[in-house]
Structure 1
């Protein structure tokens, strides 16, 4: 199969087999900047989801947002946890600070509602496992919002790797930096280790981590790492991180992330017979720029960007409507949490740490 075949119908939804009827009514729990600027517009555009409830700490001051997106029901967090208006939604999208994810996810499961939760599922392995168990016991869909898994450039890269186009993968290099304090105040919850569960590793470093696991379809076994905090604003959390992962089959992945560097991201996989490079994969609306080398043949694809948040919500809605198990489920996030814990341990100890495999 020629390289050009991977670029035909580049943005195809290879996960979709049918066109189900209906939509999933969503309660948005937490309407901070990402929900307002990305999630709500994406759901508004998506085919299989619609917003019917907003859950916020300030219902009175959120009326304008409700009007903008034609949402009839506004709830406080307490009202949501008390089970108010459960007949107004079928599923929840949780976008609150990390350490609060579990209480809203388990409450939703108890109400019989499906759950899509921002990463990480929770800040500890035990708390994440409780979310998974609650959703399994209730028989509801649980998906972690790893939107990169639905970005066409990443999906085409996985196909190239799976099909052996670049031979056996030997090395992957990935990095993501974004200057946090240019977009958030010094009082942001992301600088509170109790709420965030960590610093830049938890927030940005998990994008390279989860994407590489997705591309290789396996989990790392060993990690070596270092973290730095130079600016006083990041005294309580990691400002910069670098970590190297070892995967089965003698594959290594070198990853970096920073809260205090020029906004940039990149991903490159090098194999025995070629390489594939994705331009700016982790920055939001991703340009469809891929360069592939296979032997002495090289090909570049450049296309209009797509919004992976729309893809993510349509995938979630599709899974709920068709009874399909989502690929980025709760266990997917759990394994990232385990790897993050091991990475912090490696950074603190200065030695390589074996990563336990969690089922």
Structure 2
């Protein structure tokens, strides 16, 4: 156990320490500016050279404020401005705009790291995969939990048999969206921009994808219920959502998500011999609680917040670009999450079990 703890934060995925990937950031909201930008600037293998926003004025102003060389508008990006200044594109716009920027990046031969969920609908996600594959560009979906050391150690423990045979999973992700962003007209509450809904698309995806990653199992069927009561959620069906999924090998998963609740994140995996409980699980400071027989233990890595999670994610992506390495969380991996989320919504609307 001591040797395992000594290497807890090690980058087991790293294959190079040399080289630099230059990024263009698209979509200059608070996440891109306050989290993604400093994460890249503090990374080992990346730098931001270009900011892309709705207007040249805004992009240039933010570029000046943050010491970035180029600031261009979306139209200028589509027209190929500053293409010599960056190697890869980070797409952090609202979901329904992802495809058009990936299409332009692919046409310019640029690698792409695209925020999750990868698009607003399965059809648009399928088109993204097709364009990335036809232009042979690297496409990674930004599942930052997959490079979080706690999640990677949890995966190792499951593979080593710590929990025995996995039996069940419980995942929850909730937050008070309107307290965080006091705007009832924000894009996450607009189905034309967010996609199938808000809570599952934006929060539930963490439980679903992290469980897929740790267990290496996909859902085969889903039952679901959801409702919206608050007037701000009148256009989206899932202010509150709960689902029962059957994963491969008969593993049962219960997942809940809400954009209008107390902040809470958890992912608990129970097996025939033990249990791994990540609590809190998402958005930084992931902590692991272990149980097996009479043994219990808790492990935390200090100072690991969302920005550091993003730093790990960007360095992982850069590592793969610089070495032509495999990208597990590629477009097809992200497309499977989109199909799962669509099935969750279909099951809630129909009241039936939906198979995948």
Show the counterpart of 1:172.
169
State the alpha-carbon separation in 2 of the partners of residues 10 and 179 from structure 1: 32
Mapped pair 1:191 → 2:192:
no
Secondary structure (helix, strand or coil) at the match of 1:227 reads: strand
Q: When the two structures are superposed, what TM-score results if normalisation uses the length of structure 2? A: 0.95
Contiguous gaps of at least 5 residues in structure 1: none
State the alpha-carbon separation in 1 of the partners of residues 301 and 200 from structure 2: 30
Show the counterpart of 1:82.
79
Contact kept, 8 Å, 1:274 with 1:293, in 2: the verdict is yes
Show the counterpart of 1:317.
318
More displaced 10-residue stretch of structure 1: 333-342 or 289-298: 289-298
Contact kept, 8 Å, 2:51 with 2:63, in 1: the verdict is yes
Q: CA deviation at 1:296?
A: 2.0
Show the counterpart of 1:243.
243
Between the two proteins, the alignment pairs up a number of residues equal to 350
Call closer, same or farther: CA 1:68–1:285 in 2, change over 3 Å: farther
Q: Describe how 1:291-330 pairs up with structure 2 within 5 A.
A: 291-306=289-304, 307-330=308-331
More displaced 10-residue stretch of structure 1: 60-69 or 190-199: 60-69
Contact kept, 8 Å, 1:157 with 1:215, in 2: the verdict is yes
Contiguous gaps of at least 5 residues in structure 2: none
State the alpha-carbon separation in 2 of the partners of residues 339 and 13 from structure 1: 30
Mapped pair 1:341 → 2:342:
yes
Mapped pair 1:137 → 2:134:
yes
Q: Describe how 1:209-228 pairs up with structure 2 within 5 A.
A: 209-228=208-227
Q: CA deviation at 1:17?
A: 2.6
Q: CA deviation at 1:313?
A: 0.4
Show the counterpart of 1:73.
70
Show the counterpart of 2:260.
260
State the alpha-carbon separation in 1 of the partners of residues 332 and 263 from structure 2: 30
RMSD: 1.3
State the alpha-carbon separation in 1 of the partners of residues 66 and 317 from structure 2: 20
Question: Over residues 13-48 of structure 1, what are the superposed CA-to-partner deviations in whole Å (9 max), with x where a residue is unaligned?
Answer: 1111332x2211100011101101110010110111
State the alpha-carbon separation in 2 of the partners of residues 6 and 100 from structure 1: 42
